[in-house]
Structure 1
Amino acid sequence: MSGISWHYVLKFIITGDAGVGKSSLLVRLTDQRFLANPDPTLGVEFGSKLITIPEENKVVKLQCWDTAGTESFRSITRSYYRGAAGCLLVYDVTSRQSFVNARSWLADVRQHADPHLTCILVGNKADLASGDAPAVTLPSDTFGRQVSTEEAELWAKEEGLLFVEASAKSGQGVQEAFEVACRDILRKVREGVFEDDRSPGVKLSKPLANGVDLNQQSKSTQCCGT
């Protein structure tokens, strides 16, 4: 690639209720492992990953900011929305309330982020889902699916969001979610919606003297958000 390690750097935010598995999705993406009992996110956590999009003949570097899902950190995490090109809006398929609350998180993103941001709705914990969602909301400790794929897909379509179900535990759909969002962002770059080097969440790479190993796993580090 003529010394280019990646073609674009894309800024992503990951948002949604506490406990829906945002940190686990990020660790699955960057380290290919599962965090069974992750510590609560304090402010934000950061991770990066190189992804190849073959049909675009592009390598992109994802810079992902995993934001806390508690109200006490909301004012801090909102500042990370600014300049993002992509967003993973995460809910738990076994928690109806997390899906209902996704509307509030989406409103926050739309208020504070780039209006052209690509947002993908991600139904996490698909490995815990069994059968169809019930007709009525079950208690929060009830095991099984509480949000049907069809309902989430319909809401995503109504809101102009992309959609995928995923499992941080098994890895199902995790990289797919980021790849689908990346393709949409690259489409917007081609169409001039995002401008190279003039849109904060999309940075065009400069040729480097020495390339890096594209298979090198990126480390995930924690940031206090201050």
Structure 2
Amino acid sequence: MGSSSEYDLSLKILLIGDSGVGKSSLIRSFTSNYVENLPTTIGVDFEIKFLTVAGKKLKLTIWDTAGQERFRTLPGSYYRGAQGIILVYDVTRRESFTNLADIWAKEIELYSTSKDCIKVLVGNKVDKDANRMVTTDEGIAVAQQLGCLFFECSAKTRVNVDKCFEELALKILEVPSLSEVGSSNKDTLATIVPEKQTYNTTPNVGCCG
């Protein structure tokens, strides 16, 4: 386990959305390597990534949540202290898009402990553009409605994956209340979240398009 002196801030990022939209794949694509046909997440899991943004060394603890109906009501503890929340839908599954406003955004209102929390709307699986059921303009409109940043990504090809997480981290750093929490988390988060795996930051490879 690395010491707190190795990074400046510790950030908690939460991914939410329907089952099968590719939350786990996005995380794996960002922290290590994309894996085809990952098993469905049961409950919650997390990955850790060290990242340098705007001259700050960050420790991102990225929480992956199950999207199945029986897990849909996540305990408030998953949301507690999250400085960033990524709402994920599958551009080829319209229901996963409409559920964001109907279900997941309402969960954030109920459980998020920070009104300053940065939210990102992500349309995943743009590598399957021929099967697209949600247009880019529709995604932008809902992102504006929900007060989110917006990216269309592909966990498989890594299009915009790094950019999504880096822009989220950058926005968190711009909000004093969130970065202050990130600084204080350095000493406390290790007792809340056991270290699992760490990955060194690698240069962007074909991520931005």
Larger mean Cα displacement after TM superposition, 94-103 or 74-83: 74-83
Whether 1:27 aligns to 2:11 is no
Q: Corresponding residue for 2:9?
A: 8
Q: How many residues align?
A: 187
SS in 2 for 1:164: strand
Match of 1:179 among 166, 178, 181: 166
Asked whether the 8 Å contact 1:12–1:87 carries over to 2, the reply is yes
Identity of aligned residues (%): 39
Residue matched to 1:93: 91
* Pairing of 1:126-165 with structure 2 (within 5 A): 126-130=126-130, 144-165=131-152
Would you say the 8 A contact 1:43–1:73 is kept in 2? Answer: yes
CA distance, structure 1, for counterparts of residue 183 and residue 105 of structure 2: 21
Change over 3 Å in CA distance of 1:96–1:61 after alignment to 2: same
Contact 1:7 1:204 in 2 (8 A): no
Structure 1 segment 113-124 matched on structure 2, within 5 A: 113=112, 114-124=114-124
* Cα displacement string for residues 120-142 of structure 1 (whole angstroms, at most 9, x for unaligned residues): 00000011013xxxxxxxxxxxx
Aligned to 2:200: 216
Matched residue type, 2:21: V
Give the direction of change, closer, same or farther, for the CA distance of 1:91–1:154 in structure 2 (3 Å limit): same
Residue of structure 2 equivalent to 1:170: 157
Paired with 1:41 and 1:202, the residues of 2 have a C-alpha distance of 30
Q: How far apart are the structure 2 equivalents of 1:123 and 1:47?
A: 21
Gaps of 5+ in 2: 188-197, 202-209
TM-score, normalised on structure 1?
Answer: 0.77
Give 1:5's aligned amino acid: E
Q: Which residue of 1 aligns with 2:67?
A: 69
Determine which structure has greater relative contact order: mean sequence separation of CA pairs < 8 Å that are 6+ residues apart, divided by chain length. 1
1:224 aligned partner = none
Root mean square deviation, CA, Å: 2.1
Whichever of the two has the greater Rg, that structure is 1
- Aligned residue number for residue 205 of structure 2: none
Distance 1:9 1:183 in 2: 13
Kept after mapping to 1: 8 A contact 2:121/2:143: yes
Partner of 2:175: 188
Equivalent pair of 1:50/1:60 in contact (CA under 8 Å): yes
Shift in Å, 1:216: 2.7
Structure 1 residue 83, shift from structure 2 partner: 1.3
Check the 8 A contact 1:10/1:85 in 2, yes or no: yes
SS in 1 for 2:35: coil
Deviation at 1:78, TM superposition (A): 4.2
Contact 1:10–1:61 (8 Å) recurs in 2? yes
Deviation at 1:87? 0.7
* Secondary structure, counterpart of 1:45 in structure 2: strand
